Structure 1
């Protein structure tokens, strides 16, 4: 038997509708949001006030000069909750803070060779870098995502990274979260995350985004969603065997691309 949505669920849904419209490319007033969502103006006004109080939306000064009562455009609040992006590469770690408008507010990378490094040492360096960029940005951080050049299982654990031989079955997200005072941290494959970033920046819904550096990977988008394949390995194109009798690869195979 289906259960009707409660008042709280409906309000959360409507808050998401309003926030999505405000996040669009065209500045909208409260009346414009009401017209786009089909919600009443009174409901939209109440939801907008809630989003403003949460630091998610800001209301700009009304533009003067036109006929009638000027409307105040809404936008995502650049001083509101921000996201923390982290990356573990083979030869570097990086961190950046991005505000709700998509602007990078702080960004740093530092050399750090991890080929023979234990995960704990690299994660400690990355956590220290993250603390620095968060302090520089001076924004409330809602959560973080860390990009890893390896296979991330459905439970968020790094199963293996061919160019990081000591990184096997590492719960990178939990390890970083502990170092960052409990901040929620999710882990993802670096090529998959790059593909999502291209999509959110206006890229096509169906694409293969190739990441080439030390190793070659790809993020595959179908209908705007990631296609992970069996065990999250669909994008591991660097380990497609092109010569069965070729040289040994770090992944355990021979003759990889």
Structure 2
């Protein structure tokens, strides 16, 4: 399937041992579809097996968005991929966590919905001062009932995590750093240079020590993987309901959803 790279929805570049994986769908604010997720999984596994790669950077194309989650215009009930909800999102999330190398999210713009979850589960996050982050699921008939909720609460605390999901507000990069979801905020024009500097520092360190550190960090939250799988099965059942479909239809029709009818 990927014999003739470059990819269609992403780009992959090895920059002196740093694998830069970029979601390249700027016209839809780097929202992902089934093909995007499949390519991202392949790219992360490629980086995992490449001994010359010591660190991975995940970012979005352009200056508008890091990733805005699932492409709702492509949501036909089960998207167009495989996996429990028609997208192997669990495999991508696992790839980010399981790759034995640090993963840095370079948030260059909107990190909304599923994009916000991806930034959350990366090992570290560096954001441009123009970035906006937050959740949108309950506004469009969706939810990430796993890493996006349980793991989020470990980072920001229960009260703030519930606020993020229940209120669906957008937060500045500085606000997210104050919550502990972002490691550093820099001017947008300096984002790439700052991330590159972090990558260069990581490349000076022992890859085995880094891999062991990542494994040990992951051990403490590994139970969330089971929560995520159970949650995905529940979400699949939810996506089949008229209530969830109302959220998608309202988004595509550019109107407010009428969830209360259900």
Q: TM-score band (shorter)?
A: under 0.3
Structure with more strand by fraction: 1
Report the TM-score when normalising by structure 2: 0.27
**TM-score scaled to structure 1, two decimals?**
0.27
* Bigger-Rg structure (1/2): 1
More helix, by proportion: 2
Higher relative contact order (CA 8 A, sep 6+): 2
